């Protein structure tokens, strides 16, 4: 339990797809299950602004630490970080709680994994909410057609290099990663304590390579055809996201059979930290259905 964890959450260890994953879980045993997936390079506790409202609304809330992060297993090789393996983790931890279906929320890489899980297993995902994360099948076409996205995505190419990114990012106690978080967010979004806690996780043996392997595994050809998303979907995007363009938002939303977009003009990539109540309210409205007030 960390200092900012909702006291209704308890730590647990669940079996993913051939890995063990740390997670926080809370809420009534019979409440509808909501799974919250964090992104790169953050941690489960970045959902702190949404956990409380979801618990208050009667949901069973599960917030896992993604594979490779923190104290989780860090399997070697790129195949362990392919999207199909990451999506399988989500289904496995839901199975561990005895749930056949659930609501799924993801930000950044957690959002990409959430897209993939909903594509591959629509019968398991009741509703999907994605924050600042592109549909897995649209980024190549968006990058080809939108030069601005190429400039925003330069770091993805850098991360493909072996060993050099790890060496650069580790320098001076992860100064570049700390700077990226503060420069890409509204002032005060990440406290010094937040950054220190994240850096402590990044410094764990094998963690940084595992985190970068999410990007490196993108080189591997997808094991499925491009696909639309059938569960009801809410896509929330920050207008000041420095990593992802409006074109990525529009193209992702267009891949949804039943999709609604929420564009937050003044928010950055870290919108759930900057506007926690607004994002929590939007998630709850999505879960309650299109007729909710």
Count Cβ neighbours within 10 Å for each residue of 15-34 and write b for 16 or more, e otherwise.
ebbebebbbbbbbeeeebbb
Closest CA to 160 of 220, 72, 107, 109: 220
Per-position pLDDT tens, the chain of length 293: 345 679 999 999 999 999 999 999 999 999 999 999 999 999 999 999 999 999 999 999 999 999 999 999 999 999 999 999 999 999 999 999 999 999 999 999 999 999 999 999 999 999 999 999 999 998 877 877 777 888 888 899 899 999 999 999 999 999 999 999 999 999 999 999 999 999 999 999 999 999 999 999 998 878 888 899 999 999 999 999 999 999 999 999 999 999 999 999 999 999 999 999 999 999 999 999 865 44
Query: Quick check: is 63 in a domain?
Result: yes
Looking at residue 291, its pLDDT comes to 57
| Number of alpha carbons in the 13 Å side-chain half-sphere of residue 203 | 12
* pTM (two decimals): 0.96
Looking at residue 213, its pLDDT comes to 98
Which range marks the domain in which residue 282 is found? 9-288
Q: Which residues are catalytic?
A: 108, 215, 269
Backbone φ and ψ of 212, nearest 5°:
-70, -25
Query: Quick check: is 293 in a domain?
Result: no
Residue carrying the six token digits 């891949």 = 255
Report the domain count for the chain: 1
Query: Quick check: is 3 in a domain?
Result: no
Query: Quick check: is 2 in a domain?
Result: no
- Write the CA distances from 203 to 42, 68, 158, 206, 216, integer angstroms: 13, 12, 20, 8, 19
Looking at residue 1, its pLDDT comes to 34
- Write the CA distances from 55 to 24, 130, 255, 261, integer angstroms: 12, 19, 30, 24
Query: Quick check: is 90 in a domain?
Result: yes
Query: Quick check: is 224 in a domain?
Result: yes
CA 85 to chain centre: 15
- H or E stretch covering 247: helix 246-253
CATH number for the domain including 97?
3.40.50.1820
Looking at residue 288, its pLDDT comes to 92
Looking at residue 5, its pLDDT comes to 79
Q: Residue 257 and residue 243: Cα distance in Å, rounded?
A: 26
């Amino acid at each position: 339990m960390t200092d900012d964890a909702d006291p209704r959450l308890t730590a647990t260890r669940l079996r993913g797809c051939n890995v063990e994953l740390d997670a926080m879980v809370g809420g009534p045993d019979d409440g509808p299950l909501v799974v919250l997936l964090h992104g790169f390079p953050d941690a489960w506790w970045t959902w702190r602004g949404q956990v409380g409202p979801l618990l208050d609304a009667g949901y069973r809330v599960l917030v896992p630490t993604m594979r490779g992060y923190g104290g989780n297993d860090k399997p070697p090789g790129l195949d362990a970080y392919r999207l199909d393996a990451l999506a399988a983790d989500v289904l496995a931890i839901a199975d561990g709680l005895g749930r056949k279906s659930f609501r799924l929320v993801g930000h950044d890489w957690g959002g990409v994994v959430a897209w993939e899980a909903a594509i591959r297993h629509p019968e398991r995902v009741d509703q999907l909410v994605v924050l600042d994360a592109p549909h897995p099948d649209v980024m190549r076409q968006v990058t080809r057609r939108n030069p601005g996205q190429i400039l925003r995505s330069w770091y993805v190419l850098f991360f493909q290099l072996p060993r050099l990114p790890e060496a650069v990012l580790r320098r001076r106690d992860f100064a570049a990663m700390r700077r990226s978080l503060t420069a890409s967010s509204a002032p005060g979004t990440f406290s010094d304590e937040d950054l220190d806690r994240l850096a402590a996780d990044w410094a764990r043996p094998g963690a940084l390579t595992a985190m970068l392997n999410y990007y490196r595994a993108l080189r591997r050809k997808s094991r499925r055809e491009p696909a639309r998303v059938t569960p009801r979907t809410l896509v929330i995007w920050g207008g000041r996201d420095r990593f992802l363009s409006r074109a990525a938002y529009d193209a992702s939303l267009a891949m949804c059979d039943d999709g609604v977009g929420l564009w937050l003009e003044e928010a950055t990539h870290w919108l759930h930290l900057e506007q926690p109540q607004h994002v929590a309210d939007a998630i709850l409205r999505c879960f309650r259905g299109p007729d909710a007030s």
